[in-house]
Each structure stands twice: as C-alpha cells, then as structure tokens.
Chains A and B, each alone.
Chain A
C-alpha cells in the first residue's frame, strides 16, 4: 500500500527525466525524427547528383517554390490532428485563383480589395466545412468531398468553362518575385517570407492553449467536452485555418504559375500525404505541425530529386506512391 503512496526513491514522480522532453518529442509516436531522417536522405541523394542545389540562391528559390504546399500541409495538419479531413483545399485553391483573375481583371487597383475578399471566402469555406461537420454531424470526409464538388462546379459555372480576366502583376509578385541582391543570400523570394510568416504564426498557434486543446479534441472529443472544451468550435477553427492556408497557397500559386483550372488539382491529396508522412496520425490526436511541414518539404524535395535524376515526369507519381507507401509501412510496422 505504502509503496504507492510514498514517493519513489528515484524521484520518478511527475518529474521530467533530464532530456526527457526533447528526446520524447523526437522519438515518440508522432515525433518528427523519422521525417527528418527521410528528408536528410533525400538531400544527400540530391547532393550527390547536383551539389549546386545547395547554393543559397537555388536553395532559397526551391524553398519559395515549396511554400504553397507547405502552407497547405500546415493548414491540413490542424484539421487532421483534430480528427477530421479536409478534401476541399485543392478545389479551394483553384477557385481562389480563378476568382482572383476574374475579379482583378488585370487591374492593379483591385488587387488588395480582391485579396481581402479571397481571405473572406477562404474563411467562409472553412466555417461552412466546420459547421456542417460539427453541427450536422456529417463525417468531414463527406462534408469536404461535397464542398470539393461544389467549389469545382461553381467555379467552372461562374467562368463558363474557361478562366477569364487576368491577375495583376501586383498580385503575382508574391508568388513570382524576390528581393534581389540580398547580402549573403542573393535572391530572397517573397514566397519564402510569406512561408516564414505563416509558419511562425501557426507554430505559435499550435503551442498556444487553443492549439494544444485542438490535439486533445482529436484524441478524445468526449474527454475534451467534459473538460469544458467547445469541441464544435475548436474543430471549426481548424477548418478555418485550413481554408485560410489554402487562400495563401492560392495567392502564391496563382502568382507563380498563373491562372488555370488545374491550379489546385490533387493538392488535397498531396497535403494529406505530406501530413501523414510527417508522422501525424489520421484520426487525430497525434503529431506535430513541424512534422507536417517537413513532410511537405520532403515531398517537394522528392520531386526535385526525381527531376535531377531524370525520372520522366509521368513516372513521378509512381515514385511518389512508392516512397509514401514505404515510409508509412515502416511507421506502421514499427508501431507493432
């Protein structure tokens, strides 16, 4: 009896073991170590083939190019860790790009109002996803699948089957341009700065009370509810973050590659894949935002690597599929 009550001599009671925090975060399930290893491996393979890649200029422009998908993955992370899915982000990106083009119609004066409007629209889509999922109790897979169909259909409908108008240079510079002649770094893409800003913001959020609560909701919504968490609202916030992240990604992608109905094609799957690669559990409750973002970076690195090794563009998805399956299999088998 007393053994349980009195403190263990080694002081195990509620005292973090030295280094336990750091080690725990890396190694425990949902930690970022595996994805860091995979990423390092891919970087080594790139280094062998194309050492120039690590020159600041090309590295920075690579990071800038990767920004949209990393931001998307970051948004998707919050949805997944809260126990849901967001399949609507790809179509939302497309919608935003097409809408922006039509509304701006190459008039630089309209750039900022339209950007504001896009954020409003992203917010609205997130709120809709969240409310339908939480108040109507529709599984988010279906909610966001429906939203996907609605957005794709609506955007085609609205533009009569072909994108119209055009983006202003003002709008496109975020995805396209860079600060030139930065000391030491050379060319610093705007997209990279946007990425850094978003990443810092979201990392801070994920460390905040609301961010931690989100993970607990994904782990056990019942417990969360009985602790005073407003579960529906919390999940809706996650969908909103995803919607806003998709908006940022759309602005960057539209700037980088212009207007097209294909702008966001398949990005929802890429984002979910990235999140899972980063060690985040589908179903919620486990995983780190950093892991999700590194997962996205890893995917982009993989695509770059395939370019360097001359893998035919068409075979890319095969290699991508193989890597994903291999990485996830290792994870699944290790959990045994």
Chain B
C-alpha cells in the first residue's frame, strides 16, 4: 500500500492509506442498526420500567436476561453460519432437546462422566450436521425441506422415547455452566461470547469464512473461483449443529436434567433465524455476520426482560416480537433498496 502511491489518483474518492484493515461488508453496516435498536429498547424500557416503579437493569433481571440470551445466542451463532452460506437449519430445536438428554443421561449425576457426555453430544451433533449438510449440499434438496425433514426424524425419536425430563446433569456442570457468575454475568454467557468471537474470527481470517460468504453470495462465482461449495456448506451445517449441541449442554446444566421439549418450546428454530436476520443478515445468504446476530439475540432478550419487569403478559411479548422482527427487516430492506437505486442511477 505505502509502496504504491506514486500513480496519480484519478478520482481520489477513497484515500488508500486510510483503509488498511479489511472492513468488509460482514458485520460492519447492518449490525450497527441492531445495536442502535438495542440501545433504544433498553433506554425506553428503562424509562417505562422506572415509571412503573421498578428498575430495569437490576442484578437479577440482568442475570436472567443474559441467560435467555445465552441459550438462544448459542443456537443463533451457529445459525448465522448456515444463513451466511445461503442455507438454513430448522432442525436446531430438536438437536438442542436431544443434546440435553444425551448430556444428562450420559452423566447421570456423576461428575466423572462430564467428558464422555460432552464428547457424545458433540459426536451426535456432528452426525446430524453431516446429514443436513449432505442433503443440502450433495443431494441438493432445498434447505428448508431438508432440515425440516431431519427435524421430524429427531422429533419422532424424542417423542417415542421420552415423556418428560430424563437423566441428571453432573452437579459440577450445574454449578459452573448453569449458575456460576462473574458479577452479574453468567459463565455460560461468556461461553456464548467466546463462541461468537471464534465464529467472527473464522469468518474474517480463515479460508472457510471467506469461502462461506462467497458461496452464500453467489454459488456460481464461488465455484468458478475454485471454492468447493459442498464442503463449505457441509462444514457450516456441522458447526451449526455443534452450536445447537452446545446450547443443549448449557440447558441441561441449567435445568439439571434432559428436557425432550425444551428446544421446540423455546422456538429455537425460528427464533434463531429471526435473531440472525435482525442482525442484518440476508436470508438469501452472503451478507451478515455474527456481530449482528449477537445484537439480534440481545435485542430479543431485552424485549423479553422489559416485559417481564412490567409483568406484561407473556403472550403480549410474543406479539411485540413479531412486530419488531417484521419492522426491523422492513427497515433494512428499505435502506438497501435506496442504496441499490442510487447505485443504479449513478451507473448511466
């Protein structure tokens, strides 16, 4: 860069030196919107709760907010990868449930079996991810149907084998991952942040990350550039399932046992997709990032928290969620449309 400024600049719109880091479309622009929304939500929420005579961000509410964010966040972090690649995963809810059961049943209340339990969860998650990835990338089934089908397979297994909670999570894991905190911040939330950071790093600094965004952006371009699209997509599905498995381990620690319906009752499949899209990602792939997803997750969790504090009906919360999701995406769509028009206008 510094070596090459000799040539005269024809249109010095962007001075080269200023842009040394790779500030790419991933994460940068749309993510800002979701954090603005988050700040607004917290500010308005704080005022409203204060008028109601409460305090929005007290110790217990922050803790529960972060716990809500952790479960959804782990799933959504993985979902980000598949959505970036132009796919999606509707089986995550069942993978979460299944993982709580595998973890809790394998541990069966014994600390010594934490290791094997986690390994087993990971192995099963990888297997599910491989199946998803194979169906989507190799066979070429629409991701919606493929992962829905795999979800149904798992659902049948769960409903056939379990009526209610089963197994028992190792006490150490419950104490640490489930309940231990650093100040108001649960350890599990830190784990979520670590996962998000790892994904963020992978997207920027690994070939896999670069290739994934390319596959989602334009599969044909990626292929002609020498990217092995199917491998990239399969790996993404595996990582997504692994994240869901991790969420399962966390929930097992939180609940103390395996819960066959926890993933579905929490709407993790659709909510994780909503969180990713709230973070500015395009459902069609190729645009978005994990930073935005973290924002989307925190936004959903905050709305939750505000309404909890106000003692608002749980169902009203859901209505508001629906409205927020649609409104946010409408805003993104509007902004992008305007930018698109400007660019086209400039062309001729």
Contacts and interface: CB of A to CB of B under 8 A. Distances in A.
Q: Establish whether A and B are touching in the complex (CB under 8 Å).
A: yes
Interface of A: 85, 87, 132, 136-139, 141-143, 145-157, 161, 269, 272-273, 276, 282-283, 312-322, 324-325, 328-329, 332-333, 335-336
A139 B329 contact: yes
Contacts of B157: 315, 318
A153 B316 contact: yes
Contact of A324 (B152, B284, B317): B152
12 contacts: A136-B330, A137-B333, A148-B270, A151-B322, A153-B322, A157-B315, A272-B148, A317-B152, A318-B155, A319-B156, A320-B156, A333-B139
Give the dominant DSSP class at A's interface.
helix
A142 B329 contact: yes
Contact of B148 (A136, A139, A153, A273): A273
Interface string B295-326: 00000000000000000011111111111011
B149 A321 contact: yes
Interface string B162-184: 00000000000000000000000
Contacts of A332: 139-141
A87 B140 CA distance: 23
A328 B145 CA distance: 8
A82 to B, nearest CB: 16
A321 B160 contact: no
B321 A153 contact: yes
A150 B323 contact: yes
Contact of B318 (A150, A319, A321): A150
Given A142-B325, A157-B315, A317-B152, A132 B140 contact: no
Given A138-B330, A329-B139, A282 B145 contact: yes
B333 A329 contact: no
Contacts of A85: 144
A286 to B, nearest CB: 12
A318 B140 contact: no
Given A150-B318, A153-B319, A335-B140, A321 B156 contact: yes
B151 interface: yes
A129 to B, nearest CB: 10
B31 to A, nearest CB: 17
A146 B323 contact: yes
Nearest to B312: A157
B290 interface: no
Contact of A132 (B284, B317, B330): B330
A324 B149 contact: yes
Interface of B: 135, 139-142, 144-146, 148-153, 155-157, 159-161, 270, 273-274, 277, 283-284, 313-323, 325-326, 329-330, 333-334, 337
A329 to B, nearest CB: 5
A328 B144 CA distance: 12
A85 B313 CA distance: 29
Contacts of A157: 313, 315-316, 319
A148 B322 contact: yes
B79 to A, nearest CB: 13
Contacts of B148: 269, 272-273, 321, 324
B270 A152 contact: no
Given A272-B144, A318-B153, A325-B135, A145 B325 contact: yes
A305 B304 CA distance: 43
B153 A321 contact: yes
Given A138-B333, A316-B156, A329-B139, A145 B273 contact: yes
Contacts of A315: 156-157, 159-160
A139 B161 CA distance: 37
B322 A150 contact: yes
Given A139-B329, A317-B156, A328 B319 contact: no
Contacts of A145: 270, 273-274, 322, 325
A109 B321 CA distance: 37
Nearest to B142: A282
A272 B145 CA distance: 8
A282 B144 contact: yes
Given A317-B152, A328-B149, 16 more contacts: A137-B333, A142-B274, A146-B321, A149-B321, A152-B318, A153-B316, A157-B313, A273-B149, A282-B145, A314-B161, A315-B157, A316-B156, A318-B153, A318-B160, A321-B153, A336-B140
B146 A325 contact: yes
Contacts of B139: 329, 332-333
A317 B153 contact: yes
B301 to A, nearest CB: 15
A320 B273 CA distance: 24
A161 B153 CA distance: 30
Contacts of B145: 272-273, 276, 282, 324, 328
Contacts of A154: 315, 319
Contacts of B149: 273, 321-322, 324-325, 328
A142 B273 CA distance: 9
A314 B163 CA distance: 10
Given A137-B337, A139-B329, A317-B156, A325 B150 contact: yes
A329 B140 CA distance: 8
B319 A320 contact: no
A80 B262 CA distance: 30
B274 to A, nearest CB: 6
B327 to A, nearest CB: 8
Contacts of A152: 315, 318
Given A145-B325, A154-B315, A322-B153, A276 B274 contact: no
Given A146-B323, A328-B145, A335-B140, A153 B318 contact: yes
A85 B139 CA distance: 22
B300 to A, nearest CB: 11
Contact of B283 (A142, A153, A282, A335): A142
Contacts of B323: 146, 150
Contacts of A147: 322, 326
Contact of B319 (A137, A150, A314): A150
A146 B156 contact: no
Top 10 nearest A-B pairs (CB, nearest first) are: A318-B156, A153-B318, A321-B152, A149-B322, A150-B322, A156-B315, A314-B159, A314-B160, A146-B326, A153-B319
A132 B323 CA distance: 11
